[in-house]
Amino acid sequence: MQVKRHFSLKFVFLMPLVVSLLVLALTGKNYYDSVNRDIDDEYQRVVEAFARASKVISAIDYSFSNYSKSNYILMVEHNHHVENGLCQMWPIDMLLLSEGRHHEIPAVDINYMLVGEESLCNPESEQYQRVSGQVSLAPVLSFLHDIDDYLLGIHYIDKEGYLMSSPDTYARSITAELLATVKARPFWQQTANNRDLITITGPAPVSTTSALILSMTMPVYQGDVHQGMLSVDIDYDELLETHGKLAGELGIVNTAYLSLPDTALRPTALTLDGVNTSHTLFYQFDLAKEVRNFFIFERYSLAVVIFIYVLSVIVLFFINTRVEHSYFKELAAKDPMTMLLNRRGLEAFLKNTQHGNYIAIAVLDIDNFKSINDTYGHDVGDKVICYMAESIESSVRQSDAVARVGGEEFVIYMTGGDAALLKKGMIRVQQAIVKDSETAVERGFTISGGVEIVNRESGSSFEQLFKAADEKLYQAKTTGKDQMVF
């Protein structure tokens, strides 16, 4: 016997899985959208950082293009010495607070250095005189260098072959050979050719630090005369650090010289007003990191997915259990062949039903049923029983009940307000069965029945009614069959 379930076991496990996968897909889509939003935010941050750096270099360029000698910072207030054939100059911080001059100049920490040929340290030299007119702008480099963490250094390289740098780290590493060849280097020529534009170069390593550097350079002109070049060094790693916001890393590459890596996603050309660049910003995809990041950031959503799956399976199992329980309960009250009530089911029905003024119980039996089995076989006998069950069910009212209580024995329950009508109803059932009985077995068959009709007030039990009707059935069988005895 196959157990009837509301849901198959396959459905119990697969349907929650489909729902969970759908929720998981939505979670993945949400994570994907979140990553894209974060990439957009980081791209915007990087562009804004470049924009700020371009404003810094533009401001310095304006100062150098229109410089005038300061009344406060003089060359005599600088330390200087010659090392490895180069003159190095740097501010004497303590002098800024001595001799009562702290009212004129604020006590601030400035950090810069000037580097040039040995003649730079000679107050009589042309370089010294030229530097004297520019040195008042050196503190500006120091102040602007401290604006953002990603700014590694700000430099001014003069056409006369000296350098002004903040902080002093870069300047200390300059060699005479490097200083002598700086104007022959490609970035100098490239910057000089873009008079009104800022040029971005790199990323590339420099000798003063292990970090990769992006440089923003701009030529300085006075009138139409090229004076030198300004350079802002940007820490590549610091600029592109996402601080755990993204699993992958951001990258910038100069696509005029290099190709994007195979793992690059969302490439976006770096475009800034007044900036000459062929750089592209991209997101470097790392599958392993992305999956780990997904599980970290979406752990609560994944827990919900698992909870939904487990809960759905439990609920469906519970529903199946209730359905199976109901099925077995129903099966215990029904005849498995005809699905009519059995005797136990009929008794339960009678206890829970509202009776009319009169109650009628009929016990019906197929005449000569043994000869049908012997002549045509048990399969035809079963067909006759099923036919009779269907005929009775189609001939009674919704409020009536039909039960199979034996091999070929059936019980009909009817109730109503008129005993005569109940009697007619029983006869109608008998006639309907016999009328088309030839469809079940050759030459058809007849039935006999005993009917007991009593007033509800009599208080007769089912056992009493059944026994009385069964006795009348016996009478119908022994007095000719094919009849109903009332």
Contact 213, 204 (CB under 8 A): yes
Bridge-based pairing of strands 249-254 and 409-416 is: unpaired
Q: Give whichever of 98-107, 155-164, 185-194 has the largest mean pLDDT.
A: 155-164
Q: What is the pLDDT of residue 284?
A: 93
Domains of the chain, each with CATH number or no CATH: 67-241 (3.30.450.20), 343-485 (3.30.70.270)
Contacts of 192 (CB under 8 A, 6+ apart): 219, 226, 229
At residue 77 the predicted structure's pLDDT band, cuts being 50, 70 and 90, is low
Residue with tokens 């009328």: 435
| Average pLDDT rounded to a whole number, residues 272-299 | 90
Q: What is the pLDDT of residue 423?
A: 93
Distance of alpha carbon 89 from alpha carbon 168, whole angstroms: 10
Residue 176 pLDDT more than 70? yes
Contact 89, 78 (CB under 8 A): yes
Q: Which residues of 225-249 are buried (b: 16+ CB within 10 A; e: fewer)?
A: eebbbbbbbbbbeebbebeeebbbb
Residue 330 pLDDT more than 90? no
Nearest to 370 by CA among 412, 407, 337, 411: 407
At residue 327 the predicted structure's pLDDT band, cuts being 50, 70 and 90, is low
Quickly count: other Cβ atoms within 10 Å of residue 438's Cβ: 11
